[in-house]
Structure 1
């Protein structure tokens, strides 16, 4: 509603109202009171800007893949912790065996020294070796407890919960090899790269979004001065098309930017595929070689332990020297270290191949 306190005046020829020629008359046009009521409805028919919802759905899919990747990272970290606990348990077992053997050798040498058949330095050397083994065992036990605490934390168990690992010599399940163009985490990286397709169309749609609308308008107005109110009405039905014709240099800049992004995405996808193929071939070779190495290490370790036991008996009977006994004990330790290294390589190869094949979430350590 509008109210005009004073309407404007205009000068018109007086002859227009029947007056003398050459004169003027002041006339007010308009009404002092106006009431207008508009009712308008618009229905969008084509809106390119609404296509951005597709990009939001794509972003949601990418978020889902990111969650899956986070889950695989958690499984990978948990598997590494479990295998570390398994390796530390094997080292602890070996140290216990070495400590028992060293104490047995020390008792024999002390008896020989009491009979003046061995030197005091031999006794001291074995005592030093025993103390070193005890220190190593304490350190390995502490590391093993730390890894178990980490496992309890990751599994949501209380700190005092009992937790044990399977023996390191348990049968190993071979990971089936399924070659795929892109697998595991890198497969999702390839999907993320493919998500950037048709960037030029997206750039043009974002820079020049045409808009087509159907418009219906109903208008009701009235005015009065001295006579009563006389309402008037009118309707309008049509279409409204809005197409920007010029938007500066923003379009060309966006197109160039999308071209560079597309080129970079293609290079990235090729690099990911090449790297994944190389890593898969290497993991396959390592996974095939590690079980044989572990079996050979077990055989060599069993032979070295048998030689050490025989040498210890011969030393008790005076048929072997202390040097022979030390060499036999050193061979056992080398076999134990070879076994530990083979076990670590096997677990690493299994985890890497499972990661590349995208099977971390389906396998147990």
Structure 2
């Protein structure tokens, strides 16, 4: 694999700590609030999975009840109970029981087989995997955002250095022209033209400095640190060309695939809802009866307990389940189409980004040559102007050509770094850098 390494460096001084791109990303891993939210979502997903599993455990409830009968309940008793000679079909009302009734029991229910519970466990497990993928996606977004901001600051700092250099050159030129004007060798308008250009460069410097502060604040925000913290970034712009990235499944594709898995799991749960559910249940308690009229007042308790098995089998629910199954099948078809769409779109973007990266790589080499040529022309023009061979217009044109070549080179570097970063994302290689 053919690769070459290009290093552009400019000296900046300051007392702030210098942060590398890796340090910025590592800091964001700890302090970025979006990542913290994603980590909390992973914890929520784990708790939901445990919640689904806990439905398999026995459910224990304690039930208590107290009733005071102002009027005791009536029952109709056959007349033959009181009079054996009474005709059949004749009844007589009678009151039974005591006014005070107390009951307390512990009830236990254990699902032996419930397709809804098992379907919920399966679905929440897939959902937990999705939250982990969403965390990876957030990681990639933070990596992508911080890298772009970092590159932008580097480029702006180099632009500032170029402007400072141009200010120095223009100031020297202005000084020479002022001497020539004092000697009545050039017109005053020539001096004013260069003075105007110097003021324009100073204004441009102020604009670039302000842009650096704004982008730096955005970088600090993405890192999760306060904007009052004083930091600097490395001024060396480093990159390699002709890097071939192996094509890995992207997070977006994995998320789309996992969404289909959830739909398939939900479809299976719907189909299994037609199966019977079986549960074991039981109860143990005490029932108390009381009478409060003296001298026959009393309060007595009697044990009561039972165990049983309950079978629930859905016979017909108005075709609701059938309609839900049909809906879920269509959703699965759409999910499969979405997977194909994401795959095709990603392949197209990879092809376009590869082309853009190749073009910008060539542009960088061309603009570097143009910068060298423009600098040579500018230096020769200044020398010739001192010797009286060239006029001021030639010097200004050469200076503008040099600045334009410098800006074109910086723009090419920006486009290359962005294209390379985009290609990493599209090929699934950003996660490798994060690890």
Aligned equivalent of 1:270, options 332, 336, 340: 340
Q: Where does residue 228 of structure 1 map in the other structure? A: none
Aligned to 1:44, what secondary structure does the other structure show? strand
The answer to whether the aligner puts 1:47 opposite 2:121 as a matched pair is no
- Aligned pair partner of 1:146 in 214, 220, 231: 214
Identify if the C-alpha distance between structure 1 residues 110 and 43 changes in structure 2 by more than 3 Å, giving closer, same or farther.
closer
Deviation (angstroms), 1:135: 0.3
SS for the counterpart of 2:184 is coil
In structure 2, distance between residues paired with 1:132 and 1:48: 76
**Residue 191 of structure 1 aligns with which residue?**
258
* Equivalence for 1:123: 191
Partner SS for 1:177: coil
1-structure distance, mates of 2:265, 2:123: 12
| 1:220 shift after superposition | 10
Q: Tell me: CA distance 1:174–1:14, structure 2 relative to 1, closer, same or farther (3 Å).
A: closer
2:312 corresponds, among 235, 242, 252, to 242
CA drift at 1:23: 11
Change (3 A) 1:246 1:316: same
Give the deviation of 1:199 after TM superposition: 4.8
Aligned 8 A contact 1:291 1:346 in 2: yes
* RMSD of Structure 2 on Structure 1 (CA): 3.7
State the shift of 1:13 in Å. 11
User: Structure 2: how far apart are the matches of 1:327 and 1:198?
Assistant: 70
Superposition pairs of residues 1-365 of structure 1, within 5 angstroms: 8-12=76-80, 16-17=84-85, 43-51=110-118, 52-155=120-223, 156=225, 159-168=228-237, 170-172=238-240, 175-180=243-248, 182-197=249-264, 199-206=266-273, 208=274, 210-214=276-280, 239-363=309-433
Deviations 1:320-340 (A, max 9, x none): 122221221121122012112
Change (3 A) 1:14 1:215: closer
Residue 154 of structure 2 aligns to a residue whose secondary structure is helix
SS of 1:197's equivalent in the other structure is helix
Q: Which runs of 5+ in 1 are unaligned?
A: 224-230
- Alignment size in residue pairs: 351
CA change 1:36–1:163 in 2 (3 A) is closer
Contact 1:308 1:332 in 2 (8 A): yes
Q: Which moved more, 1:344-353 or 1:66-75?
A: 66-75
Give the conservation status (yes or no) of the 8 Å contact 1:112–1:118: yes
Query: 328-337 or 35-44: which moved more?
Result: 35-44
Please give the per-residue CA displacement for 1:22-54, whole angstroms capped at 9, x wherever unaligned. Answer: 899987889757999998765432111212122
SS in 1 for 2:352: helix
Cα distance in structure 2, aligned partners of 1:111 and 1:23:
141
- 1:240 CA displacement: 3.2
Structure 2: unaligned runs, 5 residues or longer: 1-66, 290-300
State how far apart, in whole Å, the 1-side matches of 2:77 and 2:307 are. 37
Give the TM-score of the pair, scaled to structure 1. Answer: 0.81
The answer to whether the 8 Å contact 1:12/1:24 transfers is: no
Given that 2:122 and 2:265 are in contact with CA atoms closer than 8 Å, whether structure 1 keeps it comes out as: no
* 1:187-226 alpha-carbon deviations (Å, 9 max, x no partner): 43343344322553333335x4621234678999999xxx
C-alpha distance in 1 between matches for 2:82 and 2:422: 103
CA contact (8 A) 2:74 2:95 kept: no
